[in-house]
Amino acid sequence: MGLEIKIPAVGESITEVTIAKWLKKDGETVKRDEVIAELESDKATFELPAETDGVLSIRVAEGETIGIGTTIAEIGGNGVASAPAAAPAAASTSAPAADPISKGEENPQASNQSGYGGSQAGSANTPTAPATGGAASGGGATVEMKIPAVGESITEVTVSKWLKEDGAQVQRDEIIAELESDKATFELPAEGSGTLRHAAKEGETIGIGATIARIEGGSGASAPAAAPAAAPAASQAAPAAAAAPASSSTSYATGTPSPAAGKILGEKGINPADVQGSGRDGRITKEDAQNAQARPAAPAPAAAPASAPAKAAPAQEAPAASGNRNVRRERMSNLRKTVARRLVSVKNETAMLTTFNEVNMQPIMDLRNKFKDKFKEKHSVGLGFMSFFTKAVCVALKEWPAVNAQIDGTDIVYNDFCDISIAVSAPKGLVVPVIRNAEELSFDGIEKEIVRLATLARDNKLTIEQMTGGTFTITNGGVFGSMMSTPIINAPQSAILGMHNIVQRPIAENGQVVIRPMMYLALSYDHRIIDGRESVSFLVRVKELLEDPTRLLLGV
């Protein structure tokens, strides 16, 4: 066998990655340290280098999501692919090696080395599938299939249903089983082609990473292999052998609904036999069940002509729909799935509340207009609004430390520093890089750090370390035209400040109505740790500092 290439650990909280792109083709010769694939997690994109020289054999298709530690490819040494290398080993096996070969079911490694030497030894010691025999298994390597990581908090799954029987021939990527956790149901695809051997019973609960099945090398179907063996026995076997190919168009999954589809059909009162499955081997998917409609009670055959006019009515109404009705379905990215999971978790696990205020942006705008050219000339960076808000937030966090704290179990962790997370809209979704020790940075230091992190985010080059560890978040929906919103806390933080668009509005100032550029501010906070007095006082302090920016320079 060649060198197995496994998914490396890329971060403490990352349990799975997606094969974003294979940069080398299957069967192509690669060099050591040459980048062969791009891996994508819910936080960043990584490059996977080759660990040795040789011929690349890809095991996992592009776009699949797999767990850390899973083998995704194999590199055959000395420029020879691993699959062809196994054939000479099997051919050179001598007859006296029959005893260890016959124990191949108990020791997969012995099966790989011996190649199941002869058909008699294989069939005599494989009572579960006597028709396949050793010859049907072929000389390929045995693939051990293990339970993949399906979620950060999921440690075990239940084998809900085997879709392929023990000893059945399966093809790569064919769905062989359904796994069920306490949160969802998953389908398990075959990781290779060959003969399936179950290692867990239906209904059994097993842990993540445990072996659930083995796929013995070989791609021949078991029915054709059995036909030649049965032919000398009796001439009556010929009709049965001829009928076997006809039944190969259907499988165990044909017409069978998935658990989710079965639940939907049950609620609608629809018989699965009345639904046409669009999944693999004709399996009824969740989408098939959602689109299915209950059939009306079947009338007597004689009444069929009478019901014809009633059925013609919908056909006449169909042309009423006009225009493009195209529907596109795209796979949700890991980043989007993680953002969705975290936001729902925050809504369910925190006592989130939002308080509002407004700020007159005229003083800051006047200050920017006066010094922005000299500022850019001296510091080579523009003077934006974000540096004013960041400085104001840091001052207010020092005065109200609970807003800068977080809950850890039964403890409250107070941070004496300000690591400010800045929400940035990247091509693949929302990310929040962190400005470390923002309280110690000057205006130009903050602006330069914001530009640096925003550039990395838009180029998809942010690292996990650059996006973790923030103590407070600022998000600016105003750049997209948002007038007011209630931002969701960025866990495990306890508060987030939302900026919005600047609108010219009439306000009362010194007893007179004047027009000023006004912005609404929103502070969402966790009421378990931050009281109303602290949240409102924090936001009022930010408002004071922004409406009189000289306070930021004088520290008052």
Q: What is the DSSP string of 87-116?
A: HHHHHT--GGGHHHHHTTTT-HHHHHHH--
Per-residue pLDDT tens over the stretch 457-466: 888 888 888 8
The count of other CB atoms within 10 Å of the CB of residue 423 is 19
Identified catalytic residue from 182, 288, 531, 548: 531
Separation of alpha carbons 359 and 380, rounded Å: 29
pLDDT in tens, 49-76: 888 888 999 988 888 888 888 888 888 8
Whether the predicted pLDDT of 304 surpasses 80: no
pLDDT of residue 387: 93
Active site residue 527: yes
Work out the mean pLDDT of the chain and round it to a whole number: 77
CATH class of 335-554: alpha beta
Asked whether 381 and 451 are in contact (CB, 8 A), the reply is yes
pLDDT tens for 367-420 read 999 999 999 999 999 999 999 999 999 999 999 999 999 999 889 999 999 999
Minimal CA–CA distance to 352: which of 361, 343, 365, 339? 343
Least confident of 88-92, 165-169, 313-317, 343-347: 88-92
Query: Which among 182, 373, 527, 548 is annotated as catalytic?
Result: 527
What pLDDT, on a 0 to 100 scale, did the predictor assign at position 359? 96
How distant is the alpha carbon of residue 447 from its chain centre?
A: 33
pLDDT of residue 187: 84
pLDDT tens-digit series, residues 124-134: 334 343 334 43
C-alpha 239 chain-centroid distance: 49
pLDDT at 77: 67
What global pTM score does this model have?
0.49
Highest mean pLDDT, choosing among 62-76, 132-146, 469-483? 469-483
More confident residue, 137 or 528: 528
Structure-token pair, residue 146: 């293990």
Whether the CB-CB separation of 406 and 413 falls below 8 Å is answered with: yes
Three-state DSSP at 166 gives coil
The domain defined by 128-231 folds into: OB fold (Dihydrolipoamide Acetyltransferase, E2P) (2.40.50)
The better pLDDT of the pair 447, 135 is held by 447
Half-sphere exposure of 81 (CA within 13 A, CB side): 15
Please give the residue that has the higher pLDDT: either 26 or 538. 538
Concatenating the DSSP letter of every residue in 486-533 gives: -PPP-TT-SEEEEE--EEEEEEEETTEEEEEEEEEEEEEEETTT--HH
Residues forming a β-bridge with 498: 475, 522
Q: At how many degrees (to 10) do helices 385-399 and 362-379 cross? A: 110
Shared fold status for 1-92 and 335-554: no
Q: Quick count: other Cβ atoms within 10 Å of Cβ 65?
A: 18
Q: Degrees (nearest 5) of the Cα angle 262, 268, 270?
A: 70
Cβ–Cβ < 8 Å for 524, 352 = yes
Architecture (CATH level 2) of domain 1-92: Beta Barrel (2.40)
List the domain boundaries for the chain. Answer: 1-92, 128-231, 335-554
User: Is 444 considered catalytic here?
Assistant: no
